[in-house]
């Protein structure tokens, strides 16, 4: 099939007066590069890494103050022949934000851990929690009742399987003008400042960035075969000797344009997240890990009993390929043995010193 040739079109000089108008025209001009449109598809930027690099180069000159970018790629026989870029403005609300710092959580049958998780994060400055229930059958409503009544928790029933990315995107779109920062973390992840200070004080230094990426520290089973009574931070004190390169993100929701995965988002003006040291983070990982000012304790396995319950969940079984009992047993033994290298009581001590209630839900 013969494809018409395209002509390069220069990007106009982005003066202060013309920057926004030029950015809005840029999408239409870019789409006009090719007269052939056989198939038009939406694509994630990671599928077109060269396009992401292009956006990085053009962000200052073409995007100006615009806040959202969607990318449309047209192809013939798998070959890219045209690119469309739509730019939508999403300004900061004039009246300010209802919450300075919130968290978004997808959960299923986590009732026994929710109270401790909420109270722990309130110690470090979280003001609100957007929770998405993914077909739970435990007593989560009883646990959350007082938090919902007091306006601390907003709850959504989200039956779709898997819950991600739908629930995460719903949170971004619905609450983008309600919360200044939203942390996307799981029920086995505890985000805090090692010095016990308010997380918002740290984030105040990163107002110019679309997100702050925080590294994990993996915690192991601490030798527990059965699920112990008491709180997570009290029971699991052994962890890996080194921080993990994985990150989770605290995002400015008004600057999010695309979901990549539960660790990483794409942001307007092709901006990048940074870590606590101000270093650019290019995806779901950052090396070397840095956990001096912000860290996430990731209580991934907990006890052998907890891990086995996780391994029986269909989503985990499908993802890990552990459909056979022998595979689950191998995974169980590996998880129970891993990440028990050194003792770390920091989260426990910080919670105790503040008088935070533990987790004693049945």
Give the chain's domain count: 2
- Percent of the chain with pLDDT strictly greater than 90: 60
Is the pLDDT at 237 greater than 90, yes or no? yes
For the residues 320-344, what does the mean pLDDT come to?
71
pTM: 0.73
Is the pLDDT at 69 greater than 80, yes or no? no
What DSSP designation does 285 have?
A: B
User: Among residues 36, 69, 88, which one ends one of the domains?
Assistant: 88
Q: Is 211 domain-assigned?
A: yes
Instruction: Give the pLDDT confidence score for residue 92 in this predicted structure.
Output: 64
Q: Is 212 domain-assigned?
A: yes
Indicate if 27 and 113 belong to the same structural domain: no
Q: What is the pLDDT of residues 80-111, one digit of tens each?
A: 434 444 444 356 665 689 999 999 999 999 99
Instruction: Give the pLDDT confidence score for residue 238 in this predicted structure.
Output: 97
User: Among residues 27, 59, 88, which one ends one of the domains?
Assistant: 88
Instruction: Give the pLDDT confidence score for residue 96 in this predicted structure.
Output: 82
Q: Is 42 domain-assigned?
A: yes
The mean of the pLDDT values for the chain is 78
Instruction: Give the pLDDT confidence score for residue 308 in this predicted structure.
Output: 82
**Bigger pLDDT: 45 vs 60:** 45
Indicate if 206 and 240 belong to the same structural domain: yes
Indicate if 165 and 134 belong to the same structural domain: yes
Is the pLDDT at 129 greater than 60, yes or no? yes
In which element (H, E) is residue 57 found? helix 49-58
Structural domain including 271 reads 99-301+338-353
Nearest CA among 253, 251, 99, 101 for reference residue 176 = 253
What DSSP designation does 284 have?
A: S
Q: Is 12 domain-assigned?
A: no
For the residues 315-328, what does the mean pLDDT come to?
48
Q: Is 64 domain-assigned?
A: yes
CATH number at residue 127: 3.90.550
Q: Is 327 domain-assigned?
A: no
Q: Provide DSSP, 79-109.
A: EEEEEEEEEE--PPPTT--SEEEEEEEEESS
Question: 331: pLDDT confidence band, cut at 50, 70 and 90?
Answer: confident
Indicate if 61 and 172 belong to the same structural domain: no
Ranked by mean pLDDT, the top range of 55-64, 69-78, 90-99 is 90-99
Indicate if 61 and 122 belong to the same structural domain: no
User: Among residues 35, 69, 88, which one ends one of the domains?
Assistant: 88
Close Cβ partners of 43 (under 8 Å, ≥ 6 residues apart):
71, 72, 73
Least confident interval from 40-49, 75-84, 96-105, 121-130: 40-49
Nearest CA among 165, 50, 55, 149 for reference residue 104 = 165
Is the pLDDT at 316 greater than 50, yes or no? no
Indicate if 28 and 142 belong to the same structural domain: no
Indicate if 225 and 276 belong to the same structural domain: yes
Q: What is the pLDDT of residues 11-33, one digit of tens each?
A: 333 333 333 333 333 333 333 33
Instruction: Give the pLDDT confidence score for residue 357 in this predicted structure.
Output: 59
């Amino acid at each position: 099939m013969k494809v018409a040739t395209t002509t390069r079109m220069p990007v106009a000089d982005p003066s202060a007066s013309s920057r926004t108008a030029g950015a809005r025209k840029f999408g239409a001009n870019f789409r006009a590069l090719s007269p052939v449109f056989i198939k038009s598809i939406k694509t994630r930027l990671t599928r077109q890494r060269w396009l992401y690099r292009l956006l990085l180069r053009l962000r200052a000159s073409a995007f100006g103050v615009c806040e959202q970018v969607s990318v449309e790629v047209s192809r013939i026989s798998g070959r890219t022949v045209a690119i469309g870029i739509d730019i939508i403005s999403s300004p900061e609300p004039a009246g300010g934000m209802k919450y300075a710092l919130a968290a978004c959580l997808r959960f299923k049958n986590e009732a026994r851990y929710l109270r401790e998780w909420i109270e722990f994060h309130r110690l470090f400055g979280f003001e609100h929690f957007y929770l998405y229930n993914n077909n739970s059958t435990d007593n989560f409503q009883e646990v959350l009742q007082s938090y919902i009544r007091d306006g601390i928790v907003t709850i959504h029933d989200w039956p779709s399987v898997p819950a991600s990315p739908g629930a995460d995107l719903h949170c971004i779109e619905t609450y983008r003008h309600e919360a200044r920062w939203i942390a996307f973390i799981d029920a086995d992840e505890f985000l805090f400042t090692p010095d016990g200070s308010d997380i918002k004080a740290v984030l105040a230094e990163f107002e110019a960035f679309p997100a702050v990426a925080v590294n994990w520290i993996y915690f192991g089973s601490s030798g527990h075969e059965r699920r112990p009574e008491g709180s997570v931070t009290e029971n699991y004190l052994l962890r890996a000797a080194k921080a993990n390169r994985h990150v989770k993100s605290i995002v400015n929701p008004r600057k999010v344009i695309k979901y990549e995965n539960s660790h990483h988002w794409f942001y307007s003006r092709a901006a990048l997240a940074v870590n606590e040291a101000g270093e650019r983070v290019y995806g779901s990982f950052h090396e070397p890990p840095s956990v001096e000012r912000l860290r996430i304790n990731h209580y991934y396995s907990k006890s052998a009993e907890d891990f086995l319950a996780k391994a029986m969940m269909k989503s985990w079984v499908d993802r890990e390929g552990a459909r056979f009992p022998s595979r689950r047993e191998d995974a169980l033994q590996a998880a129970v043995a891993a990440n028990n290298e050194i003792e770390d009581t920091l989260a426990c001590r910080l919670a105790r010193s503040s008088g935070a209630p533990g987790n004693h839900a049945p």
